[in-house]
Amino acid sequence: MSDNTCQTYVPATPFVVVPDNATPLHIPHRSRNVPPDAWCDYDRPVPPSWAELAARRGFRIDRRVRDRYHLALECLSCGAYTAVKIAALRDAAVRCGGCAARDREQNAQGAGLTFLRRDPVARHYGYFRAPCGHTVRRQFELIQRVRSGKTGLRCALCLVAREQDEARAHGWHRIGSDFAGNPAYRLYRHACGHVQRIARVNMRHGQCDCARCGESWSSKPSVIYLARISLPGLAGDVVKFGYSAHPRKRFKHQLGLPKSARVRFVRLLEMPSGHAACAAEKAANARLARDFPDLVVPQTIYRGLINVRSEIYWPAILGEIEAELDRISGQTQAR
């Protein structure tokens, strides 16, 4: 044997392969952590009774390897070499590493995939190249069912890309999977910034009303509101300045306010479209936050009481917001 005997692993088949200069040796997966050079020849004779036993199992004993418990078998059907325990030859059906690798590759091919490698940790899983070119990780057993037509195989990356396109077509951005864990739902962000969970099938068909701006965000009327809210446990009121197609509904159902909270609308300014309302409100809130940072209520104060992350002010800002509303009203009417 040459110096490079038992030097490298090629873990690309169901068995680990330890190549020597003549033929690679398949090692059962459970022995994958045994160092490669442990599989060198074990120089002892092979008793004739073992050879008979091996022949009955469809193998020829090539040599003894590693220690007094192991053999290298040659498969009489494919010619590959596999290391086994002598005890396994007696008690159990011995599998040929070469035949197993071939089965795995044929299964993958039959399912329209290319087998790449085993999962080094989970022995029932492997990595495959899908027809789209992406690498997918699947159970071997599932590949068999795909092959027999009992189930299909969807590439998760392609699915995400498709869902991203569907969302974009309707003015949404797909953020991720549903935080509530419902597999039929996804999390989306509307063009207005509002984040919402929507059934994927509804998004595909464009049935995806934004809870904040209402249906057809760009064209339907909307309202910019200024509301005073008294929250339980807070000495003074806070002020919310925002927009919605249905402000009362929004406060009642979407902001997660405690039952004991009191809401009083100081002003409701009707806007011709959700688009106009969104643009005007965003610009005004940005100005207010920049010019009156002391009047912005820190989120820590209302966390858990109102389900928003900004646009909450102390009442001292009311005059400034009224001025903003006057200006927006004037601009809208001038159009």
Looking only at residues 235 through 274 of this chain, which bind Zn ion when binding is defined by CB under 5 A? none
What CA–CA distance (Å, rounded) separates 281 from 332?
Answer: 12
Instruction: List C-alpha distances in Å: 86 to 17, 95, 149, 153, 242.
Output: 19, 13, 39, 40, 77
Q: Cβ atoms within 10 A of the Cβ of 10, count?
A: 11
Q: Which of residues 85, 145, 194, 220 is near Zn ion by CB under 5 A?
A: 194
C-beta of 189 vs 267, nearer to Zn ion: 189
How many residues bind Zn ion (CB under 5 A)? The answer is: 18
Applying CB under 5 A, the span of 12-20, 78-86, 137-145, 178-186 interacting with Zn ion comes to 78-86
Q: Which of residues 16, 94, 96, 297 is near Zn ion by CB under 5 A?
A: 96
What CA–CA distance (Å, rounded) separates 209 from 50?
Answer: 74
Nearest distance from C-beta of residue 304 to Zn ion, angstroms: 24
Nearest distance from C-beta of residue 75 to Zn ion, angstroms: 3
Nearest distance from C-beta of residue 21 to Zn ion, angstroms: 21
DSSP letter for each residue of 87-140: HHHHHSPPPPHHHHHHHHHHHHHHTT-EEEEE-SS-TTEEEEE-TTS-EEEEEH
What CA–CA distance (Å, rounded) separates 70 from 64?
Answer: 6
C-beta of 72 vs 238, nearer to Zn ion: 72
For the record, the structure tokens of 138 come out as: 């699947």
- Binding mask 119-138 toward Zn ion (x if CB under 5 A, else -) reads -------------x-x----
Nearest distance from C-beta of residue 313 to Zn ion, angstroms: 22
Instruction: List C-alpha distances in Å: 214 to 119, 156, 193, 202, 273.
Output: 47, 31, 13, 15, 10
Q: Which of residues 99, 261, 263, 289 is near Zn ion by CB under 5 A?
A: 99
Looking only at residues 155 through 174 of this chain, which bind Zn ion when binding is defined by CB under 5 A? 155, 157-158
- Binding mask 196-215 toward Zn ion (x if CB under 5 A, else -) reads --------------x-xx--
Region at 74 (left for phi over 0; alpha for psi -120 to 50; beta for the rest): beta
Q: Judged by CB under 5 A, does residue 279 bind Zn ion?
A: no
C-beta of 36 vs 242, nearer to Zn ion: 242
C-beta of 217 vs 317, nearer to Zn ion: 217
Contact 266, 226 (CB under 8 A): yes
Nearest distance from C-beta of residue 162 to Zn ion, angstroms: 10
What CA–CA distance (Å, rounded) separates 27 from 13?
Answer: 10
Q: Which of residues 6, 54, 75, 312 is near Zn ion by CB under 5 A?
A: 75
Burial class (CB in 10 A: 0-12, 13-18, 19+), 30: exposed
Site residues (vs Zn ion, CB under 5 A): 75, 77-78, 80, 96, 98-99, 132, 134, 155, 157-158, 190, 192, 194, 210, 212-213
